[in-house]
Amino acid sequence: MHKVLIVDDDVELTAMLSRYIRREGFDTHGVHRGEIGVAEALTGQYSIVVMDIMMPNLSGTEALRRIRASSNIPVLMLTARGDNVDRIVGLDMGADDYVPKPCTPGELVARIRAILRRVDSRDVPSGPAPKLLQAGELRLWTGTRRASWQGQELELTGTEFSLLEVLARHSGSLVSKQEISQQAFGKPLEPYDRRIDVHISSIRQKLGLRADGQSWIHSVRGRGYQLLED
């Protein structure tokens, strides 16, 4: 059973969300301070963290930064509706997705399930070797969701892995953002949604630059992205 950590200073909301998520087949635990949320997230007991951005003492963005310093556990941020700045900052710091508040418990559970489908941290049972996807010097083991770049281990969040997997499968070809959203997230791209752009920016930083000073991921304004092999 997947265990969900909820970090939100709203005690009543946390209790309500916990009850609903448990009815949907998950185990849950709620805490109300960012620093406690960080400590809990790093225990290894949880499959995913749901965390509010606006919290006293330690904000959700700072808590996310501390978590990302040593863990790639999936993190779903709760943001104020219409606050694009918080969303972009959260994604840029490594959040896997966000849900604007107020949100329905059903929408939240759907997002949790979507992330967990993409990111399964359980060990793959013994048997055939995990499938290897290779594009140039990029290698992706899709079974274990491990990645290497130029012979070195590549640390990716779950969402980054899903996006890079889509680009690798179409290596050398331009992939529209609509196609990327459908294949990586299983849903159409919403108007003014910048999460793909923000995650691609993070992936670019991790891959570094080509010998000619250009990015390994080429963008065509208004059309999409292309992973270059050489």
112 and 202 assigned to the same domain: no
pLDDT tens-digit profile of 175-191?
999 999 888 887 888 87
Locus of tokens 């965390």: 51
8 and 106 assigned to the same domain: yes
Q: Residue 56 maps to which CATH number? A: 3.40.50.2300
pLDDT tens-digit profile of 138-179?
999 887 778 999 999 998 888 888 899 999 999 999 999 999
pLDDT of residue 122: 43
More confident residue, 119 or 82: 119
Q: How confident is residue 85, by pLDDT bands cut at 50, 70 and 90?
A: low
88 and 186 assigned to the same domain: no
164 and 110 assigned to the same domain: no
* 0.95 surpassed by pTM: no
Q: Residue 148 maps to which CATH number? A: 1.10.10.10
pLDDT tens-digit profile of 21-43?
999 999 999 999 999 999 999 99
Residue 134 has pLDDT above 70, yes or no: yes
* Domain hosting residue 32, numbered range: 3-118
Provide the number of structural domains found in the chain.
2
CA distance 21 to 18: 5
Asked if the structure places residue 75 within a domain, the reply is yes
Task: Kindly state the average pLDDT of the residues 40-63.
Answer: 93
More confident residue, 121 or 223: 223
Among residues 68, 95, 118, the one where a domain terminates is 118
Asked if the structure places residue 125 within a domain, the reply is no
Q: Measured at the alpha carbon of residue 92, what is the angle toward residues 91 and 93, in degrees to the nearest 5?
A: 90
137 and 114 assigned to the same domain: no
33 and 105 assigned to the same domain: yes
Residue 76 has pLDDT above 90, yes or no: yes
Per-residue CA distances from 4 to 26, 90, 107, 138, 164 (Å): 7, 19, 15, 32, 26
